[in-house]
């Protein structure tokens, strides 16, 4: 009973809304592709804060994944985007992530791409 009482103050804290709303699912299945034939997806987001936001950094899970994003500020209520490109050098199923960091915000947003790569016939 005592541990539950210790958690009570935390349960009463207000829930703060997310500063970024992703307009695409966090996990996207890309079309099947062949080795050496890159596939891409553009993740879109909306700025829910009252100030402009900028993508500060993006970390990729492997060297086979590249990212491209706008380096201009996204105004409150406006949308921005981040393009993730996967270029496989081996066949098989994959599931890769990118972690997106916005200036002035703690923590990152993890996005996933997945799909299947075939050898050329």
Asked if residue 4 belongs to a domain, the reply is: no
Q: What is the pLDDT of residue 107?
A: 87
**Phi, psi of 34, deg, nearest 5:** -110, 160
Beta bridge partners of 79: 46
Asked if residue 77 belongs to a domain, the reply is: yes
pTM, 2 dp: 0.82
Asked if residue 34 belongs to a domain, the reply is: yes
Residues of the chain with pLDDT under 50: 13-16
Asked if residue 111 belongs to a domain, the reply is: yes
Q: What is the pLDDT of residue 11?
A: 55
Domain with residue 54: its CATH number is 2.60.40.10
Q: What is the pLDDT of residue 60?
A: 95
Beta bridge partners of 102: 55
Asked if residue 107 belongs to a domain, the reply is: yes
Q: Rounded distance, CA 99 to CA 109, Å?
A: 5
Angle at CA 77, nearest 5°, toward 71 and 79? 45
Domain span holding position 47: 18-118
Asked if residue 80 belongs to a domain, the reply is: yes
Q: What is the pLDDT of residue 114?
A: 98
Q: What is the pLDDT of residue 40?
A: 97
User: Which of 53, 59, 45 lies closest to 72 in space, CA to CA?
Assistant: 53
Q: What is the pLDDT of residue 73?
A: 96
Q: What is the domain count for the chain? A: 1
User: Which of 21, 82, 86 lies closest to 48 in space, CA to CA?
Assistant: 21
């Amino acid at each position: 009973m005592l541990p539950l009482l210790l958690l009570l103050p935390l349960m009463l804290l207000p829930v703060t809304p997310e500063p970024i709303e992703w307009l695409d699912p966090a996990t996207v299945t890309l079309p099947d592709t062949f080795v050496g034939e890159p596939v891409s997806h553009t993740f879109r987001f909306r700025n829910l804060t009252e100030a402009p936001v900028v993508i500060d950094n993006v970390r990729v899970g492997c060297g086979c994944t590249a990212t491209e994003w706008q380096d201009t500020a996204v105004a409150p209520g406006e949308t921005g985007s981040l393009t993730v490109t996967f270029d496989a050098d081996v066949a098989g199923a994959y599931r890769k992530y990118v972690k997106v960091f916005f200036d002035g915000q703690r923590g990152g947003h993890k996005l996933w791409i997945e799909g299947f790569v075939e050898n050329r016939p």
